[in-house]
Amino acid sequence: MSVPAGEFRRWLDGLAAGGDTLDWDPASEHAEFRAWIASVYAGNGAMTMPWLERLIHERRRDLVVHALRRVKDRAEAELGSFDGPAVTTVAPSDEEPNGIVRCGYGDRITELTSDRVTVTVADRVQDWIARDRRVVWPVCPEHGRGLHAMLDDGTPSWICGHTHHRVSTIVDG
């Protein structure tokens, strides 16, 4: 279904202008986010803010759950299966218009694209394994150091702090 580009643009600009309570950026040019918000608009038209916030919350939760499964697959292949970390959510409300999505320890997750969500979730899984399993994971096979989850050329990657080299992607392409 095609949407007049001008209407969509005006709707997004309106969100950006009135969006001081948003924990996401309606003006983001990230291709995955743009495609998603355009498809949501095509299906729903100009939504009220509470309606849109609910869709954003569900989108974020789905991205986190998906990333967690993929990151855990890698970790469990090395460490054996384990029962955490959990994804917990608080639905959007007047007090929390964006709702809350958490994974393991640490603050609410605010990212809204799979690349950034994957990096954050990998960091939370690493943290959970360190605290609950008392194991450093993952480790650089060359230098024996714990790795850091980050975007490397736009790809979620495990980076070794020693000479800053990429050991692997965080999930399979």
135 Cβ partners below 8 Å, 6+ apart? 79, 129
Closer of 3 and 139 to Zn ion (Cβ) = 139
Q: Which residues bind Zn ion (CB under 5 A)?
A: 140, 142-143, 160, 162
Cβ 162 to Zn ion shortest distance, Å? 5
Residue with CB nearest Zn ion? 160
Cβ 158 to Zn ion shortest distance, Å? 10
> What is the DSSP-derived secondary structure letter of residue 26?
T
- Cβ–Cβ under 8 Å, residues 97 and 49: yes
Closer of 89 and 168 to Zn ion (Cβ) = 168
Positive/negative CA dihedral, 130, 133, 134, 137: negative
DSSP element (H, E) containing 40: helix 31-44
> CA end-to-end span of the chain, whole Å?
29
Cβ 1 to Zn ion shortest distance, Å? 49
Closer of 81 and 163 to Zn ion (Cβ) = 163
Cβ 118 to Zn ion shortest distance, Å? 21
Q: How far apart are CA 19 and CA 25, in angstroms?
A: 8
Closer of 73 and 142 to Zn ion (Cβ) = 142
